[in-house]
């Protein structure tokens, strides 16, 4: 079954608010694209005269790993130790020297069976009927009510209900996420980070990303870190836990320009006139990185222990990436704010951001969301269902109740609503939400984040603990889910 609905959820970037300071701009150069020569090989020029030669074989679109293809990369550039998840990101194939603070062996530890790759979306074969007729609803839609009006009662039924929610998310919020292209190849190395080469429809694009390495023996779990998303202390915590960081090259995948001027590797492949917004384009880029991790075999980085994280608009992007790829083990959005995590219906209770502001900020959301900016009650989905798409996998939301522009009450409601899906699946402890903070400085690492953040990493990535997460809202920024729903939660057998 193919989902043909295209629309993206635009997220308001509260980092752009004058009262919320954040670091500088990202480099938008470095991705390359070329017309296919028909021989499976392309040669393109990158920044600073770097060159890339790529050979590869077609891979199946099932998400399974294949052994074809080799990418050789040369290039300059250097990344300083301790850089966060953005400034040190690759600005082209071969750029960026990985941070190797702490050294460490790269040999397999041995003894454990090899992980089995899982599909990007393992229930895509579900046959979906037509969605119900549109109607206004001021309450949060029932995540357990199928298109035909019947209620989900089993886990098997939930699998296809999840596909219905994905289809709604694509058609009204994010736009359609393309399935895996015919050819995805690349390499993973300590010296040159990760390179990714994708061919589709006679076009080829390439991008790369630097890697921050932890100490100790590998292979390492890995977090794909979005953009200028976190302070150096955040990266240090990740590496202290024995987890590597891929500095996700957001602007190479999809650059934050204008809706009428969409740029980046994604749009080079699928067209600048496409309806998809930044969030789904970034999610697509995350999936292609995971494809390469699978193809590399897990010798350096584990493809069965992958997290995504980011702050502000990059936290929103992390949520979408986690929702749309079931290979993501742990999703870690930090202070994501309005336009993705807070319930859209709840934005009516705050002065800022409004749905119109969310849509017009840039093209984070898909084009179709424009039709709902003045009619949010007609939206057939809401953010609590996007949260539910991640279930039962790990999700830890780190919010800030001191910043009203983040709409923390609406975010708390999204967490509470999504937690009902986790509860139905018997996985309540896999979702956490914390909005306690010490100040209102956006994207500053808060001491209150440290314990839940580390616990989530240890439970879902390194698997050195089994610590259930909690939902704990700031007392002045909490919502009451009972006021927003008229449905009950089943226990799915």
- What residues are annotated to the active site? 312, 442
d(CA 364, CA 13): 9
d(CA 56, CA 410): 46
Within 8 A by CB and 6+ apart from 367, the residues are 6, 7, 8, 175, 259, 275, 277
d(CA 270, CA 374): 29
d(CA 358, CA 405): 12
Evaluate whether 366 touches 6 at the Cβ level (below 8 Å). Answer: yes
Evaluate whether 96 touches 208 at the Cβ level (below 8 Å). Answer: yes
Evaluate whether 169 touches 379 at the Cβ level (below 8 Å). Answer: no
Q: Quote the distance between the C-alpha of residue 364 and its chain's center.
A: 13
DSSP string, 297-325: TTSSEEEEEEEEEEETHHHHHHHHHHHH-
Evaluate whether 69 touches 185 at the Cβ level (below 8 Å). Answer: yes
φ, ψ (nearest 5 deg) of residue 152? -70, 135
Q: Within 10 A of 418 (CB to CB), how many other CB atoms are there? A: 28
Beta pairing partners, 208 = 195
- Strands 244-248 and 220-226, by their bridges, are parallel
Within 8 A by CB and 6+ apart from 39, the residues are none
Burial of 295 (C-beta count, 10 Å sphere; 0-12/13-18/19+) = buried
d(CA 415, CA 98): 35
d(CA 67, CA 16): 43
Nearest by Cα to 80 from 210, 186, 196: 210
């Amino acid at each position: 079954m193919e989902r043909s609905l295209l629309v993206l959820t635009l997220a308001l970037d509260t980092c752009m608010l004058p009262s919320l300071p954040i670091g500088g701009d990202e480099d938008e150069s470095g991705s390359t694209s070329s017309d296919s020569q028909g021989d499976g090989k392309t040669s393109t020029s990158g920044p600073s005269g770097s060159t890339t030669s790529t050979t590869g074989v077609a891979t199946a679109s099932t998400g399974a790993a294949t052994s074809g293809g080799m990418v050789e990369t040369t290039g300059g550039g250097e990344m300083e130790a301790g850089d966060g998840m953005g400034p040190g990101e690759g600005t082209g194939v071969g750029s960026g020297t990985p941070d190797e603070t702490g050294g460490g062996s790269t040999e397999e530890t041995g003894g454990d069976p090899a992980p089995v790759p899982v599909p990007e979306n393992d229930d895509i074969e579900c046959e979906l009927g037509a969605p119900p007729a549109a109607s206004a609803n001021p309450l949060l839609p029932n995540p357990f009510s199928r298109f035909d009006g019947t209620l989900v009662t089993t886990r098997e039924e939930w699998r296809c209900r999840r596909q219905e929610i994905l289809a709604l998310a694509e058609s009204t919020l994010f736009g359609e996420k393309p399935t895996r292209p015919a050819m995805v190849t690349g390499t993973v190395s300590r010296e040159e980070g990760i390179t990714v080469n994708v061919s589709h429809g006679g076009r080829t694009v390439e991008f790369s990303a630097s890697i921050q390495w932890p100490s100790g023996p590998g292979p390492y779990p890995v977090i794909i870190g979005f953009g200028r998303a976190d302070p150096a202390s955040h990266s240090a915590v990740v590496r202290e836990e024995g987890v590597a960081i891929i500095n996700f090259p957001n602007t190479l995948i999809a650059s934050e320009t204008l809706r009428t001027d969409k740029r980046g590797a994604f749009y080079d492949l699928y067209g600048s006139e496409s309806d998809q917004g930044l969030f789904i384009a970034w999610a697509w880029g995350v999936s292609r990185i995971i494809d390469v991790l699978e193809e590399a075999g897990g010798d350096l980085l584990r493809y069965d222990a992958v997290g995504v994280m980011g702050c502000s608009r990059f936290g929103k992007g992390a949520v979408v990436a986690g929702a749309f790829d079931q290979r993501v083990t742990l999703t870690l959005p930090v202070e994501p704010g309005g336009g993705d995590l807070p319930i859209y219906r709840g934005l009516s209770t705050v002065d800022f951001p409004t749905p119109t502001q969310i849509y017009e900020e840039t093209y984070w959301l898909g084009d179709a969301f424009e039709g709902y900016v003045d009619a949010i009650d007609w939206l057939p989905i809401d953010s609590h269902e996007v949260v539910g798409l991640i279930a039962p996998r790990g999700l830890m939301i780190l919010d800030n109740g001191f910043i009203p522009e983040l709409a923390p009450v609406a975010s708390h409601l999204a967490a509470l609503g999504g937690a009902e899906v986790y509860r139905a699946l018997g996985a309540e402890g896999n979702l956490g939400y914390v909005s306690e903070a010490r100040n209102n400085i956006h994207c500053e690492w808060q001491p209150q984040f440290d314990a839940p953040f580390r616990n989530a990493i240890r439970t879902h990535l390194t698997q050195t603990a089994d610590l259930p997460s909690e939902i704990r809202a700031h007392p002045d920024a909490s919502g009451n889910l009972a006021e927003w729903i008229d449905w009950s939660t089943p226990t799915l057998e």
